[in-house]
Structure 1
């Protein structure tokens, strides 16, 4: 049992490490800050913590990685809405 608890603790440490890295990127770059603000508005059902962690992706400033990050967050929003019967913005 102790072994699995240790694995869970390691997972929590890694998640917090990603969060801190994401926050540093968001705070240190105006484009990342604007993108973050837009994603928070566009995807209200995705936890802010998850959006911040997505910015910890290596090479986030490059066009392809940024597009992939946006797509991932939007997909999470889409999945939440689909699973919970929340209409998409174009259905409202």
Structure 2
């Protein structure tokens, strides 16, 4: 019975994660703090746009790590951004600044 409950929990986490457009990664749930569906949608849209902008600069072996890092930046900025475009712009700027540092 316990295994079934754990399995259901894992399946639910995967469903939530895929619904947010983030592939499941052990321990990586950058949008887990977002409860508002509007904020979650804004975050997902901004993540996709920002990733499309920076992906060409990321070596293939670091794509998963850098996309996750980008997602955490989006999650940190979602509350201060005006809209998806502003969130994307702020995210890319923060990402590039942190890559330089």
TM-score range, shorter chain: 0.3 to 0.5
Q: TM-score, normalised by structure 2?
A: 0.41
TM-score by length of 1: 0.44
Structure number with the higher helix fraction is 1
